[in-house]
A and B are shown apart, each in its own frame.
Chain A
């Protein structure tokens, strides 16, 4: 996309930023790229394979990115919500980053494809359905043509969550037990999450050992439930945890269920407005408290 390249070249040339974090076309498909030389901006692309939420590279844990200098980051609308999350939680100040927003009509489920494809119910990332942020507002530059709504996937995430909810407790338990039994505890879900910002994860504490390290059912259940709850009301539904999971645990179903609960109990939906207080950092007199007995 020539507009992204032009803006990136200008920002690097005039010294506004030292590195552009965007996407490039590589041997196995689209992947993140870190461009520091204006001449290399030709490598930048934006197409339906640009699935990655690059905001993970703004995470304060990513010191190897920070040391490259001020960042110009290419973001889709969903990604901008993660930037807002970091701002809301004081992990970032707005002047630390130049945001190059791209209008987005949805992305594919897979980035590792030789060529971009137009979206269909069969190949669209299910999270894109019903996207409320196709034109991010938080950005410094908004590029590209206005995009149509992403297609409806064969079955939406909400429909899948509803189908699970409709099952009896024992069946739901059997489903999640089977899914979490696959976990190898590589922590890819945590590492790639733009909002897993803890310098030291509770999973790494050994005195006391809150979460057992071995990938047995007990340890896996503790880890997966803890991860999900720590993201409740914070998760922006970028789906990177699920995409990076080497064993295919459907984490987006857990995340979506928690979004529903947060919406119902706190009337809160994650947006790219950093000023809207998230329930985890906000107290209201009318917060539901019937669980206090």
Chain B
């Protein structure tokens, strides 16, 4: 992809919403951030926050739009990542039915109707491109690939959510287009949109009337500058949260399996796996057979987590990772050493969801910072342990 093919177009707020409407009218599924009113009936009583006077709380969630008006362009972070639309929480792999000694297998469809994701976060689209590698490493995962091929993803440049964001520290950025097909950047009155893949260009051409080419006018130059400034400012904001040398971190982890900084991280951790559930790159799954009556049933896969003891429990009763220290080390090791060694990429996009979801205070930003210090300045390793190792000693 050369810059020459990354032509930029302007789309107004109204036209962007109309674009979502056009897609929906044509029967295309559109997945986008939606501000879910957590206090809508009948759920209001569920949250004490809903009972307070003042601004009603909302959760932002990626949802299949029922109406273009639902599209939320506030640029907040959805609670769950985009992963659920490519690797659902559970899905059927096949169904079976027994006829005497014969077993009839009914396959599930592996092709999917075209769909569009609008206003995705770069940390979520980048995660898909990273996970593509393991999904095509040996076995080609048809369900994952089928959904990936059927989906056109349009990112919306992120303003950076809070102090737990660290995308630039792990090789992506708030305005990255990795894993996506086009990028929107907010400017006065609307957005600049550029397609970066053929899928993105096809989408823009099909809806050409909604876009205006940014020709060499004063207004276009102004918007171009505005977008560039916006994107640079967001990058600077997130870089201030965390800067690490991912390559040194990988080497350090690989060489320090038994180091207290890495081997004693589990004391505070409850081993709940909420971090894996909200993580855009955690992709491990379990396969279960569910009988539905006699002689028939469904084989399903569902999310699993390396933080659960049963993840590695052998049939013999032996468990190679039988304590939380070793399970938490695995999480760090897999993301920042094993995956980069095998696939050349860190299995983390710095979205910070794991840190925000952890009410026990397990903080990936702090842990990476400590490992980075140890990796860059071996003499400071002891100090880093004292500062960040949860045993506090």
Contact = CB atoms under 8 A, between A and B. Distances in A.
A237 B354 CA distance: 26
Given A175-B42, A244-B359, A246-B357, A36 B89 contact: no
A263 B51 CA distance: 27
Contacts of A209: 288, 290
B270 A34 contact: no
A257 interface: no
Interface stretch (B96-104, B175-183, B222-230, B360-368): B360-368
B41 to A, nearest CB: 9
B73 interface: no
Nearest to A160: B45
B164 interface: yes
Q: How large is the interface on B (under 10, 10 to 19, 20 to 34, 35 or more residues)?
A: 35 or more
Nearest to A171: B42
Contact of A64 (B52, B303, B324): B324
A213 B289 CA distance: 10
Name B's interface SS: loop
Nearest to A40: B392
A52 B360 contact: yes
B43 interface: yes
Nearest to A37: B393
Interface in B264-293: 264, 266-268, 270-274, 276-278, 286, 288, 290
Interface in B314-331: 323-325
Given A34-B267, A209-B288, A185 B274 contact: no
Contacts of A43: 392
Interface residues of A, number: 66
A26 interface: yes
A35 interface: yes
Contact of B288 (A36, A126, A164, A206): A206
B143 to A, nearest CB: 15
Contacts of B278: 246
Given A64-B323, A186-B272, A36 B48 contact: no
B286 A28 contact: no
A224 interface: no
Nearest to B265: A64
A244 B266 CA distance: 17
A188 interface: yes
B59 interface: yes
A119 interface: no
A194 B390 CA distance: 20
B392 A31 contact: no
Nearest to A218: B290
Interface in A242-278: 243-244, 246-250, 253
A182 B37 CA distance: 14
B393 A244 contact: no
B163 interface: yes
Interface string A128-167: 0000000000000000000000000111000010011001
A240 to B, nearest CB: 8
A48 interface: no
A34 B302 contact: no
A271 B201 CA distance: 66
B196 interface: no
B46 A253 contact: yes
Contact of A250 (B47, B272, B305, B310): B47
A33 B390 contact: yes
A215 B302 contact: yes
A186 B366 CA distance: 24
A63 B323 contact: yes
A117 interface: no
A184 B83 CA distance: 13
A89 interface: no
Contacts of A26: 361, 363, 366
Nearest to B278: A246
Contact of B59 (A163, A188, A248): A248
B152 interface: no
Q: Ordered nearest first, which 4 A-B pairs have the shortest CB separation?
A: A31-B361, A214-B90, A188-B272, A191-B272
Interface of A: 19, 24, 26-37, 40, 43, 52, 56, 62-65, 68, 109, 111-112, 122, 126, 153-155, 160, 163-164, 167, 171, 174-175, 178-179, 184-188, 190-192, 204, 206, 209, 212-216, 219, 240, 243-244, 246-250, 253
